Amino acid sequence: MHEFVNGSGRVRSGNRAIVTYSRGAWLGGIRVSAGIGASLSPEAVARFDLAHRELLERSFPDDPLKIPHRIFVVFGRVPG
């Protein structure tokens, strides 16, 4: 973890966590992202969803999925 301090607050970076997602929650979250659900036709979304599901089942068979995350936290305070 790294901590940076200035006159108005702190930023902590580099905290790591493992977040678990069911396969359905992960697929749904990716499907509704701006790069998929908001920009592709319904047919293209269905094709992507099928290919993504097959990739996960083949490459990451465990359910729930364990996804590493890096967490950044900003602490601030009102001067005075």
pTM over 0.85: no
Over residues 30-78, the pLDDT tens digits come to 998 878 988 999 999 999 999 999 999 999 999 999 988 887 777 777 7
CA 38 → CA 11, 42, 74, distances in Å? 33, 10, 30
Over residues 15-27, the pLDDT tens digits come to 788 899 999 999 9
CA 31 → CA 34, 42, 47, 61, 66, distances in Å? 8, 11, 11, 19, 18
